[in-house]
Amino acid sequence: MYRRFGVALALAAIAFACGGVVDPSKNQTETFTGTVQPGSGNFGGPHTVNIAKSGEITVTVTSLTPTIPSGTFFIIGFGQSVSGQCSLNIQVNRFAVVGSAAISGPISPGSYCVVIADEGLFTVAEDYMMKVSHP
């Protein structure tokens, strides 16, 4: 029994020393704004997000102005940022809506990017506010 406790204590010490996984309640939130022009393929961003520790990420568009009809879908893409280039190779949500988490999941340290794009349903340019919660 003492041996198992010692192993558990050693693993906890290693995780603490390496920074471990950040509790999502202690995440920081970055806010990004911009404009998406109407038309399929038009996008806002890319916005770079630098992650220093492992944990969880959540991307939520909190507003589109002028307000689009409730339930209108748009695209949120999330990927790696390499040498200033955004590669949407991690997650793409083609059914994002205002006010709901569009992207969420575990994240490791690195440089990432996030974009918002029109699915072809916008009728006018939309100013957006996007919040990214991360460790």
- What is d(CA 105, CA 123) in angstroms, rounded to the nearest whole number? 31
Specify whether the CB–CB gap between 87 and 80 falls below 8 A.
yes
Average pLDDT over residues 116-132: 94
Cis ω for the linkage preceding 106 (within 30 of 0):
no
Question: What confidence tens digit (pLDDT) does each residue in 64-87 have?
Answer: 999 777 778 999 999 999 988 999
Percent of the chain with pLDDT over 90: 67
Asked whether 88 and 79 are in contact (CB, 8 A), the reply is: yes
Q: Give percent above pLDDT 70 in the chain.
A: 85
SS3 per residue for the chain: CHHHHHHHHHHHHHHHHCCCECCHHHCEEEEEEEEECCCCCCEEEEEEEEECCEEEEEEEEEEEECCCCCCCCEEEEEEEEECCEEEEEEEEEEEECCCCEEEEEEECCEEEEEEEECCCCCCCCEEEEEEEEEC
Q: Which of 72, 81, 55, 70 has the alpha carbon at shortest distance from 119?
A: 72
pTM: 0.81
Q: Tell me the one-letter amino acid at 72.
A: T
Distance of CA 81 to the CA centre of its chain: 13
Whether pLDDT at 18 is above 80: no
Supply the pLDDT for residue 130.
Answer: 98
Q: Whole-angstrom Cα distance, residue 112 to residue 39?
A: 25
Structural domains for the chain? 22-134 (2.60.120.380)
